[in-house]
A = this chain, B = another copy of it.
Amino acid sequence: MTSLQQSFNVPFTYNVSFTTKLFSVDNPLFRQFLAQQTSGGTVKKMLVVVDEGVLSAHPTLPAAIRTYLAQNTAVQLVADLLVVPGGEAAKNDPSLVDLIVDAVNEFGIDRHSYIVGIGGGAVLDLVGYAAAISHRGVRHIRIPTTVLSQNDSGVGVKNGVNYRGKKNFIGTFAPPVAVFNDAHFLTTLDDRDWRSGIAEAVKVALIKDLPFFEWLETHTDALAQRDSEAMSYLIYRCADLHMQHISGGDPFEMGSARPLDFGHWAAHKLEYLTDFSIRHGEAVAIGIALDVVYSQLAGRIQEIEADRILHVLQGVGFDLFHPALAENNSEHLVRGLAEFQEHLGGELTITLLDALGKGVEVHEMDVTLIRRAVSKLEVDSLSNV
């Protein structure tokens, strides 16, 4: 019996650029990116897929893209610009994957062509997935239009769609070739989507970066009042921390540790329990609050530290309790732990806090403490009314 050992590294690189009005003719950024990519003088095709919600808030976008690219000889925009529903609907309907793959087929999009996704995290997850499986991966450019997608999902390496009601059951790890964060899009977000992405910034600050958490404390009001400068800084810092985490660790998540999932075990369950009527970020804010109070009850952090965190979350406008948490004596919630483990595979790994700015991994949680944490959040929420 003999064997051959295979071993190699696959390198990935991409830039995340921060700009405003990307497709304004006097903005050279996108043009410059395309110019750097040309090779051998061949004209590359480009297929653009847009989030319906973005399109209705920015109805002149398709014309702006056409005008912008008309001057460009290295890239040829294909006839149709595809429009897909925004939000979770994008990931729930399998025929939307086919819609994009069919366009790849019809327009002769090859592996060196581009598929551009413009939209919130859900649309980007759909488009990224369709691009990843077409011809074993067509070059994919992301233009995220929500806070969450600009500071988290859109700058990372994952995509996915839902399958028979299970979130992200189908998907791949497939880095984009470029990401363009355009701050102008954020002006048309509704308040819930503006706020929602802030939860991921609080999360990453808490597990990785005390100065960033302190910055969040001093800018809570500005963020609540939709100050665009504060938001730009938040997105930049949060994206940076996420990206460092990806490159510094296990980009394709082959192990079981997932520190960026701090606050997420309860959040995932809550999204299901509420039938996705609450936003991911809203669920994450509650999930963070729960694991923060738990960390305090477990003696890992001080009450004063826990309060500072809850204060920031409430300050930007999050509710920190939902009745589904307490339902059936929290039985439903607790089942989420096992589901989270199954989702990750391997042994249960949960991130808690050992200090502000310092996450810690644990492999079990005490159900009594979870119930006490839920009660505390419930009591707090009543006294806040």
Interface, chain A (partner B; CB < 8 A)? 1-19, 29, 39-42, 101-102, 105, 108, 110-113, 132-137, 155, 158, 160, 163-164, 166, 168-175, 236, 239-240, 243, 246-247, 251-253, 256, 342-347
Task: Give A175 to B13 CA distance when docked, in angstroms.
Answer: 20
**Given A15-B3, A239-B4, A243-B4: A346 and B137 within 8 A (CB)?**
no
Chain B residue numbers with a CB within 8 Å of A108 are 342
How far is the CB of A204 from the nearest CB of chain B, in Å?
Answer: 14
Residue of B nearest to A363 (CB): B40
Is there contact, CB below 8 Å, between B15 and A29?
no
Is there contact, CB below 8 Å, between A170 and B42?
no
Most B-side CB within 10 Å, residue of A11, A108, A155: A11
**Given A40-B346, A345-B113, A347-B40: A16 and B6 within 8 A (CB)?**
yes
Residue of B nearest to A133 (CB): B170
Is there contact, CB below 8 Å, between A1 and B17?
yes
How far is the CB of A140 from the nearest CB of chain B, in Å?
Answer: 13
Contact of A19 among B1, B132, B134 (CB under 8 A): B1
Instruction: Count this chain's copies in the assembly.
Output: 2
Is there contact, CB below 8 Å, between B110 and A345?
yes
**Given A40-B347, A172-B136, A240-B4: A12 and B15 within 8 A (CB)?**
no
**Given A1-B29, A6-B243, A163-B101: A132 and B172 within 8 A (CB)?**
yes
Contact of A6 among B4, B7, B14, B169 (CB under 8 A): B14
Is there contact, CB below 8 Å, between B2 and A236?
yes
Is there contact, CB below 8 Å, between B247 and A8?
yes
How far is the CB of A379 from the nearest CB of chain B, in Å?
Answer: 36
Chain B residue numbers with a CB within 8 Å of A14 are 5-6
**Given A10-B252, A16-B4: A169 and B42 within 8 A (CB)?**
no
